[in-house]
Structure formats: C-alpha cells, structure tokens
Structure 1
Amino acid sequence: MTVLQTIGGFLKGAYTKFGTSANLIREVSVSVLTAVAVAVLVQLLTPSEPSPVAQVGDLLKSSMAAQHKADSIEGQLRLWQVQRKVDSLTQVIQDLHEKDSMRANAGLSDLDAIIRINGAIESNRRASTGQNRGGHR
C-alpha cells in the first residue's frame, strides 16, 4: 500500500521540487498515462459494428440507387417502344400518301401529271418562303 502512496505522491508532485528532472519525468508520465487512458476509452466506446440506424441508412441508399437504375432502364425501354411505334406509323402514313397520290393521278396523262407535280412543288416553295400572298398562278 505504501508503494501506491509513493507512486501517487510522485505523480502528484508532492515529493519533488519545481523545475527538477523528477518533475519533468512526472509530467511526461502523467501525459503518457492520460493518452493511454483516452485511447483505451475511445477504443472501448467506439462500436465495432455500425449502428442499426446507419445500416438502415446504407440499405436505403443502395435500394434507392438500384430503384433509380431500374426506373431509368424501364423508361428507356418505353421510349424505344414508343419511338418504334411512331416510326412504324410514319411509314404507314407515307405509304398511304403515296397510294392516294397514285390513285389521284392515275387518270392523268404524263404531261398533266408533270404540270400538277410542278405546281405542287412551286406552291410548297412559296409557302416555305412566305411568298404565297395572292398574285399570279
């Protein structure tokens, strides 16, 4: 028991004079013991596993990332399907216009068909340049 009292007195500095090497050793010893005690407490108080709240947060983040990726892929597939349908319908419309044009021009002579085609081209030019304001024909 006297050994512990002697060590305690040494650490308190009760038996040393101010500014001596013993006082320096005491200060270093107290600093090292304090650092070791703090390191042990930090190690003991730090959980070895993440908390359940952190685990749920990580799970939600990964779930949201996976759902975002799945929604993005699904949206891209829908976009491709709609684009394919639009392209198909555009082709059908072009085919129907061609059939209607051939049906309308079936009874015309070659010269009348050329005149009608040139007239359509000219009216499209005037409409696109804004010159279709009455006038000559």
Structure 2
Amino acid sequence: MTGLSPDTPIPTEIRLHQKTRRLELVYENAHYELSHEFLRVFSPSAAVRGHGRGQETLQLGKRDVEIERIEPVGNYALRLVFSDGHDSGLYSWDLLYNFCRHRDALWQAYLDRLAAAGGSRDPAECPPSPQPPAVQCGLVRH
C-alpha cells in the first residue's frame, strides 16, 4: 500500500551532498534542497511523530546529524539512515514533495516549538543523559 496519488511528483534526480549536509531533489520543473537536520527532525517514524496527534517528540540537538545512506523502498519511498542511528522513517514521494513545497513554514514552526520548549539544535547544549526520558537529548514529548 503506497497511498500515492497518480499525480504525485517523483524526483528525476536525488543527490546527497555530504559537505553541505543537503539532500537535493530535482523534479521535472523544480529543484529543491532539504537539510539533513530538517529531514531528521521531521522524520515520519513513530519515534518522532508518535502514534497519534499530540504524541510528537520534539527533536533536540540534531544540527550536526548527517544522512549516511539512502535506500529505495519499492517505487514509492526512501529510507534515510542518519549518523545518530535513526533509520526507521519511510519518506514517501508525496511526503518529500510536501516537505520541499513547505520547507520554510515547517522549519519556522519547528524553531518556534524548540524555543518554547527551551531546547537547542546543538548537541552540546542537550541535557545530560541522567535527565528523565522526556527531556533527554532528542526527546521532548508534547
């Protein structure tokens, strides 16, 4: 089950830029770049999104995360393997296109949530691991 509509744009090229930590998606009439950090904090995995509205986990300290590899999933998605070990999200073509089209608004909403939670994008500013699970680096439950 892919859930893709027949008019979902599929990239004609996908380029992983390690130096600038960007994933480039080239479509027939458009070209976009998404940062590795953006893709990590908006992972479609249950670990990030939860299992329902209001169960999202705010991702902290992901500024330096990198995509180590990209794996195709059928003809409908990509599986991204990140340097922090996260690898469970499937990025469907429609999700990636939505990210491309709404990147700036999504990113600003993330920054606003991060500021409201007193969190940081920088790994060095994450709380030490003895903290309760709800505030450990990478985990702020809403």
Fold equivalence (TM over 0.5)? no
Structure having the larger proportion of residues in strand: 2
TM-score by length of 2: 0.18
Larger Rg: 1
Structure having the larger proportion of residues in helix: 1
Q: Which has the higher contact order (CA 8 A, sep 6+)?
A: 2
TM-score by length of 1: 0.19
